[in-house]
Amino acid sequence: MALHKPYLDVPGTTIFDADQSRKGYWLNQFCMSLMKAENRERFKQDEDAYLAEWDMTDEQRAAVRARDLNWMMRTGGNIYFLSKLGATDGMSFQQMAGSMTGMTEQQYRDMMVGGGRSPEGNRVVGQGGDAQGAVSQSAAWKAWEEKQQKNLVAGVEKHDTATKSGANGQARVTASLFASHVPAIGAAVDLGKTDEPYWVPLFKGFEFSKQWMKDNLPDVIFLVYNDHATNFDLGIIPTFAIGTAAEFEPADEGYGPRPVPKVVGHPHLAAHIAQSVIQQDFDLTIVNNLKVDHGLTVPLNLMFGSPAEWPCKVIPFHVNVVQYPVPSGARCFALGQAIRRAIESYDEPLKVQIWGTGGMSHQLQGPRAGLINSEWDNQFLDRLIADPKDLATMPHIDYVREAGSEGIELVMWLIARGAMADVAGGKAPKVAHRFFHVPASNTAVGHLILENQE
Ligand code: DHB
Ligand code: FE
């Protein structure tokens, strides 16, 4: 099922949505670079050389060279970004806007002085207004399209079969998985200490899980975690952020980057989820430039060991649990339901797992540091399995009092649990595995695998 895009039939108009943004990422980033005087200078001196530094398509480079704003927009450009290029050429916004209309500069100026273009006949394609004509094209764009004509015919056919709605089935959530993400576990893996007596019982608890992952490998993991003051310092604090990039490098958290493989994303599915979830009234921050910290990489080690490459794609999803107010359990649970609807409306038969990470009880600060509440943690696991809706009503203060200040990470587990089929009226999940162990560093480690039943 395609996303709801009611704006596609507004004449002479391109709405800059998640799909356009994905397409135009490097074109827009190139434009942003022109905000520095030294870059403008280098660009002016040798356009081809400067453009070659950016990972744009050949078509985007040609559109820039032609200074054809309609063409640039077609390839994912957004006017506020493109305006940096216009500014570099000494153009005003009025000149830029006018250049896209097929009018001369004087005609456009006169139209604006006369009160501007009327919306009459210009609200919907086919109404016959004065913005209904063909997009004005530079000679360079026309020549480009003629040259592409042969490939274009083949390309359209290919595109048609690939996007036929649900022709090959929809994506689905196959399982949810829950695990703590203690940095010391990562260090034990990196330093080859997993056989030490301290660590043996912990890693033993994940032996079943590693085999289960081999038998149930998804195409994509939607991995809910919190960024621990790694990308998001106090300059920007997004409550929910989705990683839409193609790749995510491991972050340097102060000890040097972990020697783990880079994480490969799924930009197309991530953009789809972002748009769908935002349309369901959840405000997500879209992040194209993200390094992943222990919150994301440690659970990957627990489930996959230390492979040369992670065996599937991962969409990172960050939740603020560092600075209050953090999102409520109820909101996280509802968000999980929205994410499930988003995934299951994606027109490709992908198997998607959703992971909730962090927790369980731990407190990393103050004289109460070291707090562990195994009884409460195990009740949390019981309730997460059997009655997550009720568990989601638990206020933050209960997490803090009972599970320690950093135990609040557990609200993230409710996102993964909310995405399971039973919450939307389907069958109860099968508990494939449950494990609990104290301690790993300062933390009680909890772990669950829940499988959706067909
Ligand atoms: C520890 C646990 C965490 O979840 C974390 O983010 C950092 C440290 C710990 O137990 O040391
Ligand atoms: Fe943490």
Query: Residue 159 pLDDT > 80, yes or no?
Result: no
Q: Does 109 reside within a domain?
A: yes
Q: Which phi-psi region, left, alpha or beta, contains residue 258 (left: φ > 0; alpha: ψ -120 to 50)?
A: beta
Residue 230 CA to residue 213 CA, distance in Å, equals 28
Residue at 166 is within a domain: no
Q: 350's torsion region: left (phi>0), alpha (psi -120 to 50) or beta?
A: beta
CB atoms inside a 10 Å sphere around CB 92: 12
Tell me how far apart the alpha carbons of residues 273 and 271 are, in angstroms, rounded to a whole number: 5
State the CATH number of the domain containing residue 75. 1.10.700.10
Based on the residue annotation, tell me whether 294 is a catalytic residue of this protein: yes
163 inside domain:
no
- Indicate the DSSP class of residue 221: E
Do 90 and 39 share a domain, yes or no? yes
Kindly state if the Cβ of 372 falls inside 6 Å of ligand 1: no
Residue nearest to atom 9 of ligand 1 (CA): 442
Domain around 390 = 172-451
Task: Note whether 150 and 181 are same-domain residues.
Answer: no
Residues 83 and 19 in one domain: yes
pLDDT of residue 166: 56
Number of domains in the chain: 2
User: What's the longest Cα–Cα distance across the chain?
Assistant: 82
Residue 160: its pLDDT value, please?
A: 46
Write the pLDDT tens digit of every residue in 133-146.
Answer: 888 899 999 999 99
Span of 124-128, 154-158, 208-212, 323-327 with lowest mean pLDDT: 154-158
The percentage of residues in the chain with a pLDDT greater than 90, rounded to a whole number, is 92
pTM of the model: 0.91
Give me ligand 1 centre to Cα 75, in Å: 43
DSSP symbols for 288-343: SS--B-HHHHHHHHHHH-S-SS-SSEEEEEEE--SSSSPPPHHHHHHHHHHHHHHH
Same domain (yes/no): 343, 408: yes
**Ligand 1 atom closest to the CA of 409, numbered from 1:** 4
Q: Which of 182, 202, 296 to mutate to test the pocket of ligand 1 (most atoms within 8 A of CB)?
A: 182
Type of residue numbered 343: I
Query: Is residue 297 one of the residues assigned to a domain?
Result: yes
- Domain identity same for 183 and 271: yes
- The model's confidence at residue 120, banded by pLDDT at 50, 70 and 90, is very high
Does residue 359's CB lie within 6 angstroms of at least one atom of ligand 1? no
| Distance from the alpha carbon of residue 211 to the mean position of ligand 2, in angstroms | 25
Helices then strands, counting H and E runs in the chain, come out as 19, 10
Report whether residue 181 contacts ligand 1, using a CB cutoff of 6 Å: yes
CA angle in degrees (0–180, nearest 5) for 408-409-412: 115
SS3 content of the chain, % helix, strand, coil (to 5): 45, 15, 40
User: With a 6 A CB cut-off, is 369 part of the ligand 1 pocket?
Assistant: no
Instruction: Note the ligand closest to the C-alpha atom of 446.
Output: 1
**Measuring from atom 4 of ligand 1, which residue has the nearest CA?**
182
pLDDT class for 325, splitting at 50, 70, 90? very high
Q: Which atom of ligand 1 is nearest to the CA of 359?
A: 4
Locus of tokens 């930009």: 267
Q: How far apart are CA 355 and CA 223, in angstroms?
A: 5
**Cα 364 to middle of ligand 2, angstroms:** 10
Q: Are residues 65 and 201 in the same domain?
A: no
Task: Give how far the C-alpha of residue 124 lies from the chain's centroid of Cα atoms, to the nearest Å.
Answer: 32
Q: Are residues 149 and 201 in the same domain?
A: no
Task: Looking at the CA of residue 358, tell me the nearest atom of ligand 1.
Answer: 4
Label the pairing between strands 313-319 and 240-243. antiparallel
The CA 371 to ligand 2 mean position distance, Å, reads: 15
Nearest residue to 32 via CA among 87, 92, 70, 69:
87
Residues 6+ apart with CB under 8 A from 131: 11, 12, 101, 117, 122
Q: Are residues 63 and 111 in the same domain?
A: yes
Flag whether 164 is in a domain: no
What's the N-to-C CA distance of the chain in angstroms?
21
**Which residue's alpha carbon is at the smallest distance from atom 6 of ligand 1?**
182
Average pLDDT, the chain: 95
Assigned domain for 262 exists: yes
pLDDT of residue 50: 98
State residue 137 phi and psi, 5-degree precision: -125, 140
From 228, 266, 294, 318, the catalytic residue: 294
Name the DSSP letter for residue 421.
Answer: G
Query: What is the C-alpha to C-alpha distance for residues 454 and 204, in angstroms, rounded to an integer?
Result: 30
Give the number of other Cβ atoms within 10 Å of residue 1's Cβ: 12
Nearest residue by C-alpha to atom 5 in ligand 1 = 182
Residues 154 and 206 in one domain: no
Chosen domain end from 158, 186, 219: 158
Active site residue 362: yes
Q: Is 301 contained in some domain?
A: yes
- The enclosing domain of 344 has a CATH number of 3.40.830.10
Q: Which of 228, 318, 362, 437 is an active site residue?
A: 362
> Which residue has the least CA distance to atom 10 on ligand 1?
442
Would you state the pLDDT for residue 4?
83
pLDDT digits (tens, 9 = 90+) for 67-80: 999 999 999 999 99
- The mean pLDDT value for 333-352 works out to 97
Which atom of ligand 1 has the smallest separation from the CA of 443?
10
Does the beta carbon of 227 sit less than 6 angstroms from any atom of ligand 1?
Answer: no
- Count of alpha carbons within 13 angstroms of residue 198, beta-carbon side: 9
Q: In whole angstroms, how far apart are CA 113 and each of 116, 184, 279? A: 7, 67, 37
Q: Where is the domain boundary, 158, 184, 205?
A: 158
Q: How confident is the model at residue 162 (pLDDT cuts 50, 70, 90)?
A: very low
Amino acid in the structure at residue 170: Q
The answer on 189 and 123 residing in a single domain is no
Mean pLDDT along residues 305-323: 98
- Lowest mean pLDDT, pick from 15-29, 57-71, 213-227: 15-29
User: Is 361's C-beta closer than 6 angstroms to any atom of ligand 1?
Assistant: no
- Angle among Cα 265, 352, 216 to the nearest 5 degrees reads 110
User: What is the best residue among 230, 413, 442, 447 to mutate for testing ligand 1's pocket, by most ligand atoms within 8 Å of CB?
Assistant: 442
pLDDT per residue as tens digits for the range 277-296:
999 999 999 999 999 999 99
442 Cα: distance to centroid of ligand 1 (angstroms): 7
Tell whether 132 and 268 lie within a shared domain.
no
Q: Where does the pLDDT of residue 153 fall: very low under 50, low under 70, confident under 90, or very high at 90 and above? A: low
Residue 183 CB less than 6 A away from ligand 1:
yes
Kindly state whether residues 29 and 93 are assigned to the same domain. yes
- Around ion ligand 2, residues with a beta carbon closer than 5 Å are 358
Q: Is residue 56 part of a domain?
A: yes
**CB 419 less than 6 A from any atom of ligand 1:** no
The domain boundary residue, chosen from 110, 126, 158: 158
Say if ligand 1 is within 6 A of residue 358 CB: yes
Whether 2 has a pLDDT exceeding 90, the answer reads no
